[in-house]
């Protein structure tokens, strides 16, 4: 069994949606990629660290990721039904570029925040 997702995994200001200078897919795709990198997850597991995203928006993001070939959605024939989302090979291929972008953002986030603050003040 894989380790449960941490509810605070995106609370770091560098990981917040406001600090992301790069975007893969829609606004939440990169965060969902991070949640799925250790293995398949159920919708309720994804909701733990992505608690500020409405269920509707998370569903739309997962559907878009499935349509683009980044995730597979598996419905297990159980009662109650169990649905899991897992990265495809294509989805996994986004992790290295995402890591590079995150490393760059960690280094430059103070400059990004400074530039945005100056822009908004100006």
What's the pLDDT at 101? 85
Q: Which residue has the tokens 């959605």?
A: 73
Q: Which residues of 36-54 are buried (b: 16+ CB within 10 A; e: fewer)?
A: beeebbeeebbbebbeebe
What's the pLDDT at 27? 85
Instruction: Give the domains, in start order, of the chain with CATH numbers.
Output: 13-121 (1.10.10.10)
What's the pLDDT at 19? 53
What's the pLDDT at 64? 94
Compute the distance between CA of residue 9 and CA of residue 15 in angstroms, rounded to an integer. Answer: 8
Q: Measuring CA to CA, which residue among 76, 69, 109 is closest to residue 90?
A: 69
pLDDT in tens, the chain (122 residues): 788 888 876 666 555 545 555 567 788 999 999 999 999 999 999 999 999 999 999 999 999 999 999 999 999 998 888 999 999 999 999 999 988 888 888 898 889 889 989 999 98
What's the pLDDT at 38? 96
pTM (two decimals): 0.79
């Amino acid at each position: 069994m894989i380790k449960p997702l941490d509810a605070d995994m995106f609370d770091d200001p560098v990981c917040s949606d406001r600090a992301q200078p790069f975007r893969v897919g829609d606004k939440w795709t990169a965060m969902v990629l991070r949640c799925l990198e250790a293995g398949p997850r159920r919708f309720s597991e994804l909701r733990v660290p992505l608690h500020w995203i409405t269920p509707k928006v998370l569903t739309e993001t997962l559907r878009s990721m499935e349509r683009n070939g980044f995730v597979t959605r598996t419905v297990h024939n159980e009662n109650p039904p169990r649905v899991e989302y897992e990265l495809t090979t294509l989805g996994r291929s986004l992790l290295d570029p995402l890591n590079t972008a995150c490393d760059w953002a960690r280094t430059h986030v103070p400059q990004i925040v400074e530039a945005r603050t100056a822009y908004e003040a100006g």
